[in-house]
Each structure stands twice: as C-alpha cells, then as structure tokens.
Structure 1
Amino acid sequence: MSDPEPCRMKHTEDPEEQRDLMEESEESEELSEVEEEHHVQPGGKPLSRSKTKKTFLKKRRAKKSTTCTQCGKSFTRKQSLDRHMRIHTGEKPFSCDQCGKSFTIKHDLDVHMRVHTGEKPFTCNQCGNSFSQSSNLNVHMRIHTGEKPFSCDQCGKSFTIKHVLDVHMRVHTEEKPFTCNQCGNSFSQLAHLNVHMRIHTGEKPFSCDQCGKSFSHSSSLNVHMMIHTGEKPHVCHQCGKSFTRSETIKEHMRVHTGEKPLSCNQCGKTFLYASNLKTHLAVHMKEKPHSCSVCGKSFSLQIYLQRHQRVHTGVREYMCFECEKTFTTANSLKLHQRIHTGEKPYNCSHCDKRFSQSSNLKSHERIHTGEKPHMCDQCGKSFSIKTHLKLHLKIHTVEKQHHLSLKSNRTARKHLEGEDGENASDPQPAE
C-alpha cells in the first residue's frame, strides 16, 4: 500500500478562485497570530477559539468591504465606497433634466439644480448676500472676518481662497499656461484669455441700457455708465477736480508733481500722456502727407492740418463765457480760463512758486538748475527760454543784413568807380 499523497494547494486556472484560496490562507495565518496574542496576555482570560475567530473575521471582512481595491482608500460605510468607485469607473448616474449634465452623486445634482431654480438658501447674517452652496457662504464670511488662511511662501501675501493663491503663484513662477490660438499670446488665467479672445472675435457682450453702446469688458461698461450718472468718485486732493477712473486721476496728479514719465527717443522731449508723445513723434517723420488746399503747407498728422486750416477760415469755435474771447482750440480756452479762476496747478519743487502752465514751470525751474538748452547756432550762446534765443537771433539777422548792405554798397561803389575809369580812358572825339 502506497504512502498517502502529501496535502497540496488546489491548482486552478480560475483567477477568482485563486484569489479566494490565497485570502483564506492569509486569514488563517492572521487568525493564528491573533489567537496567540490573546492566549499569552498575562492575567487575561483566554477567549475560546470559536469566539476569537468570529470576532476577527467580522472585523477583517468589514475592513475589506470598505477599502477601495483601486487606490487603497478606506471608508466607514459600504455606500461611501460604492460612491467612491464611480471616480474610477467614470459612472455618473444622476443627470439634470434641464441641461443634461451628469454627476456621480445625487447631492451634486441637487446643488446644480439651484443654477436653474435660482435658489440661494445660504444667507450671510452680516450683509444679507445669499449663496447656493454653504461652502461659498463660508468663503464669503472671510470678507467680514478678514481671515486669509492661504499665504504665499514667496512674498507673504495672503488670500481668502486657495485657488486665488494658486493663480497668484504664477506671478513668481511666470507660468502662463493659457495660450491664444490666434496670435500666440499667453496668459496666467483662463479668464484673461477668454477676455482677450474678444479682440479676435469682436464680441462685446456688455451693453449700456441707456445708449446701447457695447463693451468687451464689464469694467469698461461700469466706467461708461458714469457718463450717464455723472458719478466721478476719484477726487484730486490738490485741486478738487473729480474723475471717473482711478487711472485718470493718477495721470492727473502728474500735473501737480510736474512728472513727465514718457520721453521721445529722438529728441528727449518729455510728456505727461502717451497720446501726446505719439502725436509728437510725427514731428520727426519726414513724410507729411496732409497738405493745406489753400496755401500748400504740409503736415505729418491730419489733426495738425485741421488746426492750421482755422488760420484761413478764421473759425474760433471756443469762447470764454467770462470775457467772450474766442479761441481755435479747446486747450487754448482751458489755459485762458485759468486767468479768471486764478488756478495755478503747477508748483515749483524748489521755491513753491506756482504757475498756470506746465511750460512756464519748466522754464522757471531752469533758474534753479542753471539749465540753458536753447543754443545759438551762430555764436554758441545759450538761453534758458526759447523766446530769448529768438530775440537774440535777430542780432545776427540785423548784423547779416548790415553786412549784406555794406557788401552791396561796396559792390555798387566799385561798379561806379569802374564805370568812371572806363569813361576816363576813352579817347576824346575829334573836333
């Protein structure tokens, strides 16, 4: 009689069956360890094998049933695991009957439906603003509490929302992940790209309900609306003048400081506004395509031609209501009106003397600096004011005229003397 065949693990081609056998083996090993642990505890009453096994299997299988086999994440309830598994399977069983959008859990669908119903059940007890989600209300409350829990580790700036911090970090990393497929310009935020695309599409979705004018930015519409409301919230603390935009008051403040940050790369002349620099650059252009039909004089810009034509037409459409004096340009009238108002917005940084025109301030400050930028090309003498140079040049003009006059007189005298000599040398006619 042959010896009995040793016990072997049953071989099977079914992977599910193999997994079950392996798990049974693992359970057996773990159970042995647990039994040993319970029986060696000093002073403790050992549990029966059947009770130990029952308790162990209950705990192990409960743990197994709430652990994701894909990522290892564990849950306290099987329903939570089932819901989690939809992340891996991509299943979205809950669909909106309004727009067809699908969701993995019913709660998300319920929240989404508020988009269609307009329901906002979460209200701020500080300002009364309402929100469709409690999480949005929680974020909003940080406006009132001043809480900014998300800080930049580069510059220390803090934010109420983590997403805003993530976007801010691109300032330091210079990351611009959103690229325009029309011109190649890149942006750090998707919203900025979407706004930029309106340049290419010509879309202007924001319309004024007063005049119908449309804008590509909501901020542009808000500024435009101030034309109708007359609102000018930005006030200059120097002269009290009001403006609709913060950028405009910043530019205006240069009137008081005398700052001219924009300079011409051809001659070095400085300007307050970019538009003025752009206009000035035409001076250096050799091409002058705009010609006056009356006198033939040419200009580099159409606006210069229009201004010039008033010389011929005599049109002076801008009138001062104080003295009824008329002017050809609005700027000339504006400067003139300062005579009546006494306004002198330009003050000297050296002696506090004030002026009604920036050009007068600039000329005055040369007294302090000693600058004399206007040089005579005849004798090299320099002047701080251009009009002084013009007066000086008349000296050379008179000298030149006098020199030409003397030269002319000498030439005439020589000519006369020559004629006399010729007459003296002629033979006398015979009698």
Structure 2
Amino acid sequence: MKSESRRRSLGKSPRTPAATGSKMCHCSDCGKSFTGSHNLKYHERIHTGERPYYCGQCGNSFTCQGHLQRHKRIHTGEKPYYCSQCGNSFTRQSALRQHQRIHTGERPYHCGQCEKSFTYQSHLRQHERLHTGVRPYHCGQCEKSFTCRSTLLRHKHIHTGVRPYHCGQCEKSFTRQSHLQRHQGIHTGVKPYHCSQCEKGFRDQSALYSHQQSHTGQKPYLCGQCGRSYTHSSSLRTHKCSNVKSSDLDL
C-alpha cells in the first residue's frame, strides 16, 4: 500500500502555493513574489544590504546562514561534493554539477552570433566580448586590455615576474594554476579528463576542450587578416607567424 501511494504521489503535478496553503509574500521594493515570509526576508536583504551572518575567521558577512556555511569551507578545506569519474572534489554542489559537464560533453550555453557553445555561462559571456569588441579589464602598467579579469591577472605576472604556483615534486613554478596542474600530470601520469566520444584521456581541461573540437568540427580561432579559421589556438599562432615572415620577404 505504501509503495502504491508513493507512486501516486510521484505522478502528481507540483502543488501550487494555494494547494499547500502557503501564502505568497511580495517584495515592496521590486515586486518579486515568494512562498513564505522567511524567503521574502532573505530576499529583502539584497535591497537593505543587511548581512547578519559573520565569519569568525576573516570577518566576511553574508545574507543567510547557508552562504556562511559554504564560505567556511574555504577556511576548513572541506570539499564534500565528489566527482565519481575523476575524484575531484568541490565546496558547492553547483560547482560539481558544472564540473561534470566536462565528462558528459554537455554545453548548455549557446552563442547567439555564432555556433559555439560553452560549459559555463561565464565562458559564454567572455566569448561574446569577441563579437562586441568589449575589453573591460585594463592593465595599469601597459596599454593592453582583456575580456576577462582572470586573463588580466595572469598578464600582470609578466610585469611582476611572479610565479605563484609551485610544484611540490620539483623546483618548477608557474604563472597559471592550469599550467601547474598540467605539469603535475608528468609526475603522476594521471589523465582525469576523458573525451565522452572516444575515451581519450587528457591531463587538463583545456587539452580536452581542444581535442573535442576535432569531433565537432568547430574552428573558433579566426585570423583577422585573411578570414581563415583553425581548431587550435596554436595553429592560428603558427599561421600568423608565417604571414609575418612572408610579408618580411616581400619587403
């Protein structure tokens, strides 16, 4: 009887606030509606700026207790969400779900101006700036500007000479964490990123992404001078160098 009632309940459509007796509460600032006064209270803190939950270790404050608990994992190192395919662990369940797309090949974020699609929404936003030409992140030491903040921070290492990512097994250091992770694969032999179409393994995510384009036929790297496109950024760089050399010979 119990399993039968469970099957019936699973077949029902989600209950509306009216069916559950929940009262809809409305935000007086923006008009958004919420089920329950507690949900409205959390939302209103966006408008008031109230952050009543404080971290005892660094002083950061948060609008709700759940966000504070998630933040504390930065200090404790706790990463309770594990990927069953490669063993990587994460502080947030949402980060694990995003990571799993690397293994499944899912790319739910599509560019409206070309055929490219992306694993992360942030990668789509960054890509869209290639179409718009917007480069909002500027280097204070030279005139270069960039489409994303992380690229600017990496660029600054050129000026400072800082290599903050150190290998624990040899004396090498790197300007990027991804370069360190790729290097560490030499010591461990581990290739945790696998292609969902041919099972080939790779040491880092960027190498997997580059390989996957051989299956899709995408050629996202475009030469601005002649219009030719390439699967890999290294192929585009080689092409540009050959153009420079040939133009020098013409002189």
Taking the aligned partners of 1:258 and 1:391, their CA distance within structure 2 comes to: 28
Q: Residues 241, 376 of structure 1: CA spacing in aligned structure 2 closer, same or farther, 3 A cutoff? A: closer
8 Å Cα contact 2:70-2:91 kept in structure 1: yes
Q: Which amino acid aligns with 2:163?
A: R
The 1-side partners of 2:222 and 2:173 are apart by 35
Report what 2:42 is aligned to. Answer: 195
* RCO higher in structure (CA 8 A, sep ≥6): 2
SS in 2 for 1:364: helix
- Alignment of 1:314 with 2:161, yes or no, is yes
- CA–CA distance in structure 1, aligned partners of residues 225 and 58 of structure 2: 60
Matching of residue 245 in structure 1 with residue 92 in structure 2 = yes
Aligned length: 248
Structure 1 residues 323 and 380, CA, compared in 2 at 3 Å: closer, same or farther?
same
| In 2, Cα distance between equivalents of 1:283 and 1:380 | 15
Q: Does 1:180 align with 2:27?
A: yes
The alpha-carbon deviation at position 352 of structure 1 amounts to: 1.1
Q: Which of 249, 273, 276 does residue 120 from structure 2 map onto?
A: 273
Alignment of 1:138-217 (within 5 A): 155-156=11-12, 167=17, 169=19, 177-208=24-55, 213-217=60-64
Q: CA deviation at 1:381?
A: 6.5
Shift in CA distance, 340/258, structure 1 to aligned 2, threshold 3 Å: farther
The TM-score with structure 1 as length reference comes to 0.47
Matching of residues 69-84 of structure 1 within 5 Å: none
CA distance in 2, matches of 1:186, 1:283: 37
Alpha-carbon offset, residue 210 of structure 1? 5.6
Give the corresponding residue for 1:335. Answer: 182
CA displacement 1:242-273 (0-9 Å, x = unmatched): 22322221122123223332234445544333
Where does 1:399-414 land on structure 2 (aligned, <5 Å)?
399-402=246-249, 404-405=250-251
Larger CA Rg, structure 1 vs 2: 1
8 Å CA contact 2:103, 2:196 repeated in 1: no
SS in structure 2 of the partner of residue 178 of structure 1: strand
Moved more, 199-208 or 367-376: 367-376
- Aligned amino acid, residue 86 of structure 2: C
The change in CA–CA distance for 1:286 and 1:216 in structure 2 (over 3 A counts) is: same
1-structure distance, mates of 2:58, 2:138 = 37
**Displacement of 1:181 after TM fit?**
0.5
Match of 1:346? 193
Query: Secondary structure, in 3 states, of the residue corresponding to 1:343?
Result: coil
- Counterpart-to-counterpart distance in 2, 1:300 and 1:350: 31
Using the TM superposition, give the Cα deviation of residue 232 of structure 1 relative to its aligned residue in structure 2, in angstroms: 3.0
Paired with 2:215 and 2:180, the residues of 1 have a C-alpha distance of: 30
Please list every run of 5 or more consecutive structure 2 residues that lacks an aligned counterpart in the other structure. none
Distance 1:270 1:364 in 2: 15
Once the two structures are aligned, what percentage of the paired residues are identical?
43
Output one character per residue of 1:325-361: Cα deviation in whole Å (capped at 9) or x when no partner.
1212333323322332323222122321111233322
For 2:124 and 2:59, locate their aligned partners in 1 and report how far apart those are by CA, in whole Å: 33
Distance 1:263 1:218, change over 3 A: same
Query: Are the aligned partners of 2:135 and 2:146 in contact in 1 as well (CA < 8 Å)?
Result: yes
Question: Which amino acid in the other structure matches residue 315 of structure 1?
Answer: V
Deviations 1:10-64 (A, max 9, x none): xxxxxxxxxxxxxxxxxxxxxxxxxxxxxxxxxxxxxxxxxxxxxxxxxxxxxxx
Please give the secondary structure, in 2, of the residue aligned with 1:248: helix
8 Å CA contact 1:176–1:186 kept in 2: the answer is no
